[in-house]
Amino acid sequence: MAEELSNKAVPKHIAIIMDGNGRWAKKRGLPRTAGHKAGGKTVEKICEEAYRAGVEYVTLYAFSTENWSRPKEEVDMLMDLLRNYLSDSLNNAKKNNMRVRVIGDRSKLDPDIIKKIEETEEASKDYTGLRLQIAINYGGKDEITRAMKKIAEEVREGKIDPADIDQDVIEAHLDTAGLPAPDLLIRTSGEQRLSNFLLWQTAYSEFYFPDTLWPDFSKKDLLEAIDYYNTRDRRYGGVR
C-alpha cells in the first residue's frame, strides 16, 4: 500500500462533511444518537489514515449553524459527544501528534465546551503532525459575515484603508486564516451539496460524494477518495 501511495498525488488538505449518521442508525432500528456515537468512532481512524497517506490538513464538519434547528435531545446529545471528544482530544492529539483547531462561532457554545476548545488548542499548538480543524457551530455564510464585521471594525479604527481590501485581506479574517484551501472535499452518504461548509475556501476544490454513510466510512474508502482525486485534471482556470 505504501508503494502504491507513493506514486499518487496526495491532497494536502481534505475537508469532510461527515453525513449519514441518522440513516446509519435508522437502518439498524437504532435511535439517531447511536448513529452519532458510531460516527464519532470513525473520526480518529480516518485522521490516522489520512496522515499516514501523507495528508497534512483535515477539516471536519461536526456541527453546522443550521443544526441548532434539530430536536433539542439530538442537539444536547451532539454537544455531549463534542464534550467527550474534546475531553479525549488532549490525549488523542498527544498520541497522534495532532494540532487541533476549532473553526466556527464558538461564542454561542456552552462555557465548559469553550474552555475545552481553548485547552486543546493551547496544548496541541506545537504538535507537528496532522493539522485537524473541527467545525463546530460553523456556517460558511456566518464565517464570511463575521469576517466582514472584523474588517469593518478595522476600517473604522483606521487600521485598514477600504482601497486595500483584497482577497488576501478577506482570507486573513476568516476562521481558516493561514490554512491552505482544501484540495478535496468529501461528503459521505450520497448527498451532493455543501450545506454551508467552507463556501469561500472550496472555490477550487475537487468534490467527491461516496454513498457510504459516515459511520461505515473506512480507511479503504478514504484511499478510494484519494484515487478519485488522482483522476482529476486540476486547471484553476488555465490550460494544461
**Residues with catalytic annotation?**
19, 67
Contact between 67 and ligand IPE by CB under 6 A: the answer reads yes
Query: Which listed option, ligand IPE, Mg ion, none, makes contact with residue 61 (CB within 5 to 8 Å by class)?
Result: ligand IPE
Q: By CB under 6 A, name the one of 34, 38, 62, 198 that touches ligand IPE.
A: 62
* Closest CB to ligand IPE among residues 66, 118: 66
Contact between 38 and ligand IPE by CB under 6 A: the answer reads no
* Closest CB to ligand IPE among residues 94, 193: 193
Contact between 209 and ligand IPE by CB under 6 A: the answer reads no
User: Whose CA is closest to 103, among 48, 67, 140?
Assistant: 140
User: Minimum distance from CB of 82 to Mg ion (Å)?
Assistant: 16
Contact between 183 and Mg ion by CB under 5 A: the answer reads no
Q: Which stretch binds ligand IPE (CB under 6 A): 13-21, 113-121, 162-170, 202-210?
A: 13-21
Contact between 195 and ligand IPE by CB under 6 A: the answer reads yes
Query: C-alpha cell of 37?
Result: 456515537
| Packing angle, helices 219-231 and 32-53, rounded to 10 | 60
Q: 132 forms bridges with which residues in the sheet?
A: 58, 100
Q: Burial of 54 by CB count in 10 Å (0-12 exposed, 13-18 middle, 19+ buried)?
A: middle
Q: Where are the beta strands (DSSP E) in 1-142?
A: 13-17, 57-64, 99-103, 131-138
User: Minimum distance from CB of 48 to ligand IPE (Å)?
Assistant: 20
Q: By CB under 6 A, name the one of 42, 64, 96, 212 that touches ligand IPE.
A: 64
Query: Which listed option, ligand IPE, Mg ion, none, makes contact with residue 220 (CB within 5 to 8 Å by class)?
Result: none
For the residues of 135-203, what is the DSSP string, one character each? EEEE-HHHHHHHHHHHHHHHHHTTSS-GGG--HHHHHHTSTTTTSPPPSEEEE-TT----TTSSTTTTT
- Spatial distance between the Cα atoms of 96 and 135, rounded to a whole number of angstroms: 19
Q: Which stretch binds Mg ion (CB under 5 A): 17-25, 115-123, 168-176, 203-211?
A: 17-25
Binding stretches for ligand IPE (CB under 6 A): 17-23, 61-64, 67, 78, 189, 191, 193, 195
